[in-house]
Amino acid sequence: MNIETILIESIAAAIKTLYGQEAATDKIQLQKTRKEFEGDFTLVVFPFLQLSRKRPEETAAEIGELLKANQPVVSSYNVVKGFLNVAIAPTYWAGLLHDIDKCPKWGITEPTADSPLVMVEYSSPNTNKPLHLGHIRNNLLGYALSNIIAANGNKVVKTNIVNDRGIHICKSMLAWQKWGNGETPASSNKKGDHLIGDYYVAFDKHYKAELNELMAQGMSKEEAEAASPLMAEAREMLVKWEAGDAQVRKLWETMNGWVYEGFDETYRKLGVSFDKIYYESDTYLVGKETVLDGLQKGVFYRRPDESVWADLSGDGLDEKLLLRSDGTSVYMTQDIGTAQLRFRDYPIDKMVYVVGNEQNYHFQVLSLLLDKLGFSWGKGLVHFSYGMVELPEGKMKSREGTVVDADDLMEEMIATARETSQELGGKLDGLTPEEAADINRIIGLGALKYFMLKVDARKNMLFNPKESIDFNGNTGPFIQYTYARTRSIERKAAEAGIDVEAATAPAAISEKECSIIRMLNEYPSVVRQAGSDYSPSGIANYAYELAKEYNQFYHDYSILREENTDVKTFRILLTRNVGKVIKSAMNLLGIEVPERM
């Protein structure tokens, strides 16, 4: 039984004894005591004043006195207005450490056969360009969120929807036809996604030149865009694709194949994965059929130009295009079809979309449309909305080729980790070049991932590679180094023949040791809170606080050189469990931790 449950039951019993009435346990609100006050847990007594019919201070003191007299885990208490601060006996914390040590997956709730099934969609790349910095944040958030939801006892399906059709794909295809000269990833020695991205940029370059030429002839920008032969060819290619034109489809399959090979390589390096991948080319027709069915039933309406729309003005929104006048689909149509296929494939209890906050309106509309179409799960969709990533230099633009490429960024981070290790000197001595390279990879990618995930996902963020790799402060390498330190102590203890399994509670333990055990005790509730709030940053910042607390302990107290055997083994046991929980927290974030640094 955890300490919170023990306290809640003891407080309920005290209220029954003192006031002769039952107190609902959901009204017993325990909070972590604020740092400026003494104590471990704080009870808000205001809900019980009707039972005591006494002042808040007097009620708190009566409950505190009874707890101290009858509950051995309570060592002392103090009252601050209507708040009862309770201190837990150090001997209890010592016993709790042994309980934590016996639980290999402390803080993690394993799913059962009856657990809810949650599907999480993330990544959602377009096949006309490689993954970039924005995709990195999306993938890291989606993967971490999936892990956290699973750690809360849910079954999870990680899914990806690849936007492999549409006018943007046709732009890259047309550019390759016109200016590619048969270039392939093999002939150019480029990753396939990078190659196709180059042609997307090339299309935009020629398109802008064409617009400038038309405007020089006296056309307005709008007239030039409408008259653009290049854009007309791209639209014609999209119509041919949807009509199943053999040549267009063959080119599309070839170029998308190049892109998928590139994507897979990037995903592997980033350390994210999917259980199921959907493709817009397979889902848009399902959505199109559903929209036409909704049109027949009067849910939607057709305009004179043959386009199909949803009128959401009655719901406080505007009108939404679902099918263009030429019959081609839009993103909303595809999302309707994909949602149907997913709920057909899996018995999903909840669907979570990890998509940037620029799409807030889109998912508000999607949820409403699915509900209007009669799908019971429409209103239950969750849009995990996150902010954009910017660099010190400003925003990125795909069409102009000014994005920060995901592959390049990961390589840069690994190179920076390598340089930092060399500057520190001697840290990786004795390792093979392959082992050292792997540790640099873990550190570099850990720095990148942690920097992305420690920020509240709802906020826009500024990514600074140099700050992220720092071995001090709230960074991934700092936490990784702390874990490596715990492993080093464990190895040295084993070499010295110290039997940690036989560790017993010493006669006295320090306040710092109690503080660390309190933090270890909080881990299950941190995981629960991160799951209910959809907040990877909650896990990240907990890992940092635990690492910081342990490092202060490490510098202030002897561990392996401690002369008292009971104290020494207890501190090694504490070290082992700090390492265990740090590794668990970082794993939830998708971050590896090295055995040495």
Lowest mean pLDDT among 23-27, 83-87, 294-298, 580-584: 23-27
Average pLDDT of the segment spanning 372-389? 88
Question: What's the pLDDT at 426?
Answer: 63
Whether 527 and 107 have beta carbons less than 8 Å apart is answered as: yes
Share of the chain above pLDDT 70, in %: 97
Q: 207 and 298, same structural domain?
A: yes
Question: What is the tens place of the pLDDT at every residue in 532-555?
Answer: 999 999 999 999 999 999 999 999
Q: Establish if 103 belongs to a structural domain.
A: no
Q: Establish if 475 belongs to a structural domain.
A: yes
Question: What's the pLDDT at 397?
Answer: 47
Question: What is the tens place of the pLDDT at every residue in 9-63?
Answer: 999 999 999 999 998 888 898 999 998 999 999 999 999 999 999 999 999 999 9
Number of structural domains found in the chain: 3
Between 361 and 376, where is the model more confident?
Answer: 361
Residue 447, number of CB atoms within 10 A of its CB:
28
Residue 380 pLDDT grade (very low, low, confident, very high; cuts 50, 70, 90): confident
Q: 140 and 277, same structural domain?
A: yes
Tokens of 329: 């689909």
Whether 339 and 284 have beta carbons less than 8 Å apart is answered as: no
Question: What is the tens place of the pLDDT at every residue in 209-241?
Answer: 999 999 999 999 999 999 999 999 999 999 999
Question: What's the pLDDT at 402?
Answer: 54
Per-residue pLDDT for 376 more than 80? no
Question: What's the pLDDT at 445?
Answer: 97
Question: What's the pLDDT at 398?
Answer: 43
Cα–Cα distance for residue pair 461/141, rounded to 1 Å? 13
Q: CATH no. for residue 80?
A: 3.30.1360.70
Q: Establish if 70 belongs to a structural domain.
A: yes
Question: What's the pLDDT at 399?
Answer: 44
Q: Establish if 367 belongs to a structural domain.
A: yes
Q: 263 and 164, same structural domain?
A: yes
Question: What's the pLDDT at 24?
Answer: 84
Q: 129 and 76, same structural domain?
A: no
Q: 129 and 205, same structural domain?
A: yes
Question: What's the pLDDT at 396?
Answer: 42
Question: What is the tens place of the pLDDT at every residue in 356-372?
Answer: 999 999 999 999 999 99
**What's the whole-number average pLDDT of the chain?**
93
Q: 284 and 217, same structural domain?
A: yes
Q: 278 and 368, same structural domain?
A: yes
CA angle 122, 127, 133 (to 5 degrees): 55
Residue 286's contacts (CB-CB under 8 Å, 6 or more residues apart) are: 336, 337, 338, 340, 341
Q: Establish if 513 belongs to a structural domain.
A: yes
Residue 393 pLDDT grade (very low, low, confident, very high; cuts 50, 70, 90): low
Whether 355 and 384 have beta carbons less than 8 Å apart is answered as: yes
Q: 438 and 346, same structural domain?
A: no
Per-residue pLDDT for 508 more than 50? yes
Per-residue pLDDT for 121 more than 60? yes
Q: 48 and 23, same structural domain?
A: yes
Share of the chain above pLDDT 90, in %: 82
Q: CATH no. for residue 256?
A: 3.40.50.620
Q: 238 and 347, same structural domain?
A: yes
Three-state secondary-structure class, residue 110: coil
Q: Are strands 389-390 and 276-279 parallel, antiparallel or unpaired?
A: unpaired
Lowest mean pLDDT among 88-97, 250-259, 395-404, 417-426: 395-404
**In which domain, by residue range, is 29 found?**
3-88
pTM of the model: 0.90
Per-residue pLDDT for 76 more than 90? yes
Average pLDDT of the segment spanning 313-327? 92
Residue 401 pLDDT grade (very low, low, confident, very high; cuts 50, 70, 90): very low
Q: 233 and 198, same structural domain?
A: yes
Question: What's the pLDDT at 208?
Answer: 95
Residue 29, number of CB atoms within 10 A of its CB:
12
Cα–Cα distance for residue pair 569/547, rounded to 1 Å? 20
Q: Which of these three, 88, 107, 131, is where a domain ends?
A: 88
Question: What is the tens place of the pLDDT at every residue in 451-499?
Answer: 999 999 999 998 887 788 887 889 999 999 999 999 999 999 999 999 9
| Sheet containing 41-44, strands listed edge to edge, beginning at the edge strand earlier in sequence | 30-32, 41-44, 83-88, 74-80
Strand partners, 351: 119
